[in-house]
Chains A and B, each alone.
Chain A
């Protein structure tokens, strides 16, 4: 028997690949966010669902319109990163936010946060946080009007003024309430840790349940889709710095546990700071990045003008990431203690 000459493919080694590609990883991130999103819908009702959906729509539309042509467009939609950006942005927003603002925020996140830098992989700042920073600067009142959730209204009752028309003055009713961090900072009223952990407090969509965020993060870290050094480093440094301050003046500075569980720290540390594009690639660099973020969070929360500082802490460290990477190149095999630092 003579072997039939098949159509043989010539390609470059290696010829086998690990199973997971970038879209698969993005899908895993989305799955791990589903419980957090469901919790926000449970807590805030239809408002939370609407904000999330509008963010996704805005992000996909921006990606489709401006994310290149032909194969580049197909690839940037297919990689799934726009949905991750949109969901993460939504989780940082208050449930009562007018929907047109959420839409605008998502568009800015994709266009300014990503496409203007050259697309996925080239952006310096986390796109979701870029979008949120834009909203916070543009609509400070709307972005800091929070709502009690559990005891008020049913699923279909909208929180705040979701349906406000663009460029009208949103109408905020009297049910708004302060976040635990604002309570602590401005009125020195603490919140029970168990409430913080389970999420029955006022706050943005994803600021509420530390438990579900930790579960999602633990899953991703276990599957190695998330660099565990960053959340661990942030938690550790926030806890240490906060505990030191607490020991100095317990009445003025809340405990380390409070800082860990309150505000956007969980969401930021697990899902935002770990954005691979905008965090260091070297293991040593990840520790530097994480500890720096934790320090900045405490500095802003305790000594800055705002009650919450996670967003700016991460954005500031994003800006330092290229420098950190450059200074923490790994030691190359067979070259003694230190590898040659990058030029």
Chain B
């Protein structure tokens, strides 16, 4: 079985939703579309309050290259453009749309896009106009990633179907139910990249998906499905490259420097839909799960639906629910407000209870080396943690702090409950601030 070295084996809890068919959430009364749902410049509204908008219509345009536009996810009326609660915990300028209960909610500008003959630049422009971002969680604009820089080459295209975060099963369901748009998306991206071959990496806790994709892969598509050991963080880009191709991404570089490009299965299937019938990124598959929710489900949710509404649809929170995360339990973001919207990058909503969320006493580091044994990029988290504790951030750079991808494996295994990865985030933040300060002083 192919895999990478080190990593951890948390209990996966995927059986809660692995067999739940994707189910469409009913049209909500209201959606909140934050102008910043992606990495890069926030988009700029092109509609005004009171204006009628249709499902799939452009409501905010991209500002610059590293930015994507935003589309109405329901047909209705713009009721406000104002600051609203954002899953990051900040207040972010958002377009609020009240849906029209009498609308059939058909797509505004549907129709097939020509992808066989259009030049590559046009395909990339279509992807940007579709508002696409990586749906695995990082929400990086897809067209930027798909643009191969001058002088670089993509030999292999990797489709990430690992879904190594415990609890989450949205990618699993997409591979089972959306194989057709997935393979179409692969074809289109193949054209854009000029890649030799595609590999779909899937962890072996999803054998049914591996089997069904293998049965359905078109004969003329150079695409292999690669079973990978079930191990966290198998879905991290660097780990996926190492597992599938036995090559390493150079430190500080991107997979493309190892002639590889990676997209999440959800993103690729979405691009298939975009070219097949013109649907921009206005809805996505979200796993709603955890011991704290009554009916764990797999939902197709319009972007911008409020968290509270999704929870209600799934039977509501249980009495002992104590923490709600966007994303999985290893790298997700905790939410404090049920009014925040589901975004383009929200892969899961995880409701944890008192049993999981108990405070843990921190003990002294006993140098047990568990963290060294699991770090997938072979750092020395034990030493880094000691340096962080006393604020020696500069020295942490000599121990390759910047190679840390914050997967949290070290914190997961630490028997002394030391919040290692959190200390590394703080250290990185402090170093960035210091850098900015020095830059400002130099000017």
Contacts and interface: CB of A to CB of B under 8 A. Distances in A.
Interface of A: 1-18, 20-25, 75, 78-79, 81, 119-122, 224, 227, 276-277, 279, 281-283, 325, 329-335, 339-340, 342-343
A343 B395 CA distance: 8
10 contacts: A8-B323, A9-B357, A22-B415, A25-B415, A75-B361, A121-B365, A121-B366, A329-B399, A334-B403, A335-B400
Nearest to A2: B312
B324 A14 contact: no
A334 B253 CA distance: 9
Contacts, number: 179
Given A23-B363, A277-B366, 18 more contacts: A3-B312, A4-B317, A8-B324, A9-B323, A10-B334, A11-B323, A14-B329, A15-B325, A15-B332, A16-B329, A16-B412, A21-B416, A22-B416, A81-B366, A121-B416, A227-B369, A333-B376, A334-B248
Contact of A17 (B242, B366, B395, B417): B417
Contact of A25 (B308, B324, B368, B376): B368
B288 to A, nearest CB: 12
Chain A binding surface, main DSSP class: loop
B39 interface: no
A333 to B, nearest CB: 4
Interface stretch (B53-61, B264-272, B279-287, B377-385): B377-385
Contacts of A279: 367
Contacts of A25: 368, 415
Q: List 6 tightest A-B contacts by C-beta distance, closest first.
A: A121-B364, A333-B377, A14-B408, A12-B422, A334-B251, A281-B369
B415 A20 contact: yes
A1 B415 contact: no
Interface residues of B, number: 69
A222 to B, nearest CB: 15
B interface, over-half SS:
loop
Given A6-B321, A14-B331, A334-B248, A22 B400 contact: no
B421 A14 contact: yes
A290 to B, nearest CB: 14
A217 B302 CA distance: 56
Contacts of B416: 21-22, 121
B317 A6 contact: yes
Contacts of A122: 364
Given A3-B317, A334-B238, A335-B400, A281 B412 contact: no
Contact of A18 (B8, B308, B323, B333): B8
